[in-house]
Structures are given as structure tokens and as C-alpha cells.
Structure 1
Amino acid sequence: MASVVVAPTAAFAAPNFKAPFPCGQRWTYSHHSAEVRQALDFVRADGGVTGGTPVMASAAGTAYRFSQPSGAGNYIAIEHGGGWKTYYFHLTSYSVPDGAVVQQGQQIGITGTTGNSSGPHIHYEQLLNGVGQVIAINGVSLAPYPGSYNQRYLTSDNCGGAPAGAKYYAGSPTDFSGDGKDDIV
């Protein structure tokens, strides 16, 4: 009787996530101790107003719109492929239709305070196969997370999407369709 050996599936490397706010802006971030997820909340620290600021896709993928009035409020989940997903909570409004393919650096919503929120901010999460991950921007972990604002800062270099005509290959974290064909963005 022949035995079958099943090799484990290799995990996809994380996309090169960028900050979820516009290029050149400086924001501070914190993690609330009551939050069980690996989430960060971002607010502006460069003299600009947080509420009404665009929220940017931190990596390319397919964006889905949701509303949870008693929790996350209006939010977007972006599926990046390879089991990776990001969340953007408490949006005042959406900037893309449900199911839209978005590029890194593309505006997906407007920062707000919908749902269970005490003020305008971007609640941001990175998940792998549904499990919250320690947030990394440009491949660098932001841990250990500060417990309050104005202890750590991040300036965005999320300055736009992939160049026109860029190709992403099947099986990569940016194979959005999962159809085994190259996706041209």
C-alpha cells in the first residue's frame, strides 16, 4: 500500500505594506490595551486635521465595503492574496465601489468616526488567514506598540500605485483574481 505525502503549502510573504494615509503626512499611532486584536489607531501629527483626510490602500488588492454601526462603523477590507487582508475602520465615506480592484496608494475612503469610536482616526489591521499580525510598514515592525499617542510617529511614503502596465503573476500576493493568470494592473 502506497502512502501519500502531502507537502505543506508555503506561506506567501506579506505585501510591502505602506502607511494607510497620504504621502508625506506625519501621523502618530497607539494601541488600546482593551483591544485584543493587533490593531493600531492613527491620528495626524503634522498640524493637519485627522477627520476628512483620505485613507489610502496600504497594498494593492480587492476592496470590499462593510458597515457595522455598533462597532467598526463604515469600513473597508482589502484582500491582497496569499491569505493577507487589511482593515480600515470608522470611515466617514467610501471612495471606491464594493469589489473594486485598488492599487497601493489609491484613496479608498475618508477618515472619520463612525461606529464605536471616540473621535476621528484610522483603525488599521493586517491579517494573515484571518489572524491579526503585528503591523509592519515597509517591512519594518511597528512593535512594540505605544499605549498612547505622541510617543511614536510615522511619515507616509505611500505615494501611488504600481506603474502603468505592471504585471503581477499568478500565485503571488498580488494575484487578485486567483484564476492562475497574470493580472495586469
Structure 2
Amino acid sequence: MRQHPGATRRLARGGAVAAASAALLATALQAPAAAEERAAAALNLRTPFDCGQVWNANTRSNHNPQNSVDFQRSGANGKNVLSSGAGTVTVKRDLGGDSYGKYLVVDHGGGWQTLYAHLSSFNVNKGAKVNTGTRIGKVGSTGGSTGPHLHYEQKKNGTPVKVVINNVAVKYYGNTSITSSTNC
């Protein structure tokens, strides 16, 4: 079978175009993640506790949602919970003995929110403007909690994402991370 002289060049160009298209698609799929990481770094959410306190940032594969963190320490009950960043309190709810119990959501703009659950009390109302470090509540054991701790989530466009505190990613499903608060 005799091949047309330009056929080999067209096949080679077609392969090159397919490879370039695949590379562009891969780059496009990675762009939102890179943009999300840049946005999280620019937001620079802080540890939600008084300056200098050390807390265990616990994660587990069966946590709901999976990307949430439980901050625990000895004597946690009644400790101040601070806003991780500036924003507006968009949710203040008390679910009683169910789920999150007493919880708050702060909207930081750009699709970013933080959620603080199992609080013993609130220090802000829905609609309040808060700054990084504003006391918003107290650690408790309300809702479905089995002991005093802060259930904490960071969300992008309503979806929980892996927590980044002080521009450092919390380690998931490995050794417990120890986080010292710089929210001063």
C-alpha cells in the first residue's frame, strides 16, 4: 500500500495537536486549584483561639464532612473562639442536642466561609461585622459532641475544603497537628 507523502506529516501534526490540547486541558483543570490556593493564602485565616494557646488539630477519615477539623486540648470548655478572619456572621443557630449544636458561620467574601460548631455560647449575632480575632463564642460540647472541642470548617463556595491556618495546611489522617495560635 502506497502512502501519500504528506500523510506522515499530517499524522505527526495531528499527534502534536492532540498532545498540546491534552496539556492545555490539564493546565485548565489545575488552574482553579491553583487559584483557590492563592486565594486561601491571600485570605490568611488564623487559628480561632487566643494568642499563644496550643491546640490539637484532629482529623479523621470518617469525619463529617471529611475536611473538617476538631480542635481539642485539656481544659477546652469555655475557652474563647475567635473569628479566623474578617467578615460577616451569616448564620447563628442552635440545633439543640443534634448535629453542630450551637454554631456560627462567618462569610469572608470571595466565596470563603468558616464554620464554628459545638459552642457553649455566642458572643455575636447574625449580621455582625467581625475582624480577625473578634471573640465570636466559647468552646463547648453542644449538639452531637462527645466532649468539649471546636468543630471547624473552611468552605469555598459552600464546599468544605482542607483547612489552612496561618498559611500552613493542617495534616490530614496522620499524626495530630499541634497549632499554636497567632490570632493576637
TM-score normalised over the length of structure 2: 0.74
Of structures 1 and 2, the larger Rg is shown by 2
Once superposed, which parts of structure 1, at least 4 consecutive aligned residues long, lie more than 2 Å away? 9-12, 143-147
Residue identity opposite 1:66 in structure 2:
R
1:35 maps to what in 2? 63
Residue identity opposite 1:129 in structure 2:
N
Q: Verify the 8 A CA contact 2:141 2:149 in the aligned structure 1.
A: yes
Give matches, 1:146-185, under 5 Å.
146=174, 151-159=176-184
In 2 relative to 1, CA 22–145 (structure 1 residues): closer, same or farther, beyond 3 Å?
Answer: farther
140, 149, 162: which is aligned to 1:121?
149
| Alignment of 1:68 onto 2:95 | yes
TM-score normalised over the length of structure 1: 0.73
Distance 1:136 1:87 in 2: 14
For structure 1, the 5+ residue unaligned runs are: 1-8, 160-185
| CA displacement at 1:144 relative to structure 2 | 2.7
Instruction: Name the structure where helix makes up a greater proportion of residues.
Output: 2
Distance 1:108 1:22 in 2: 12
For structure 2, the 5+ residue unaligned runs are: 1-31
SS in 2 for 1:13: helix
Distance 1:56 1:146 in 2: 26
| Alignment of 1:56 onto 2:82 | yes
Identity across matched positions, percent: 41
1:88 maps to what in 2? 116
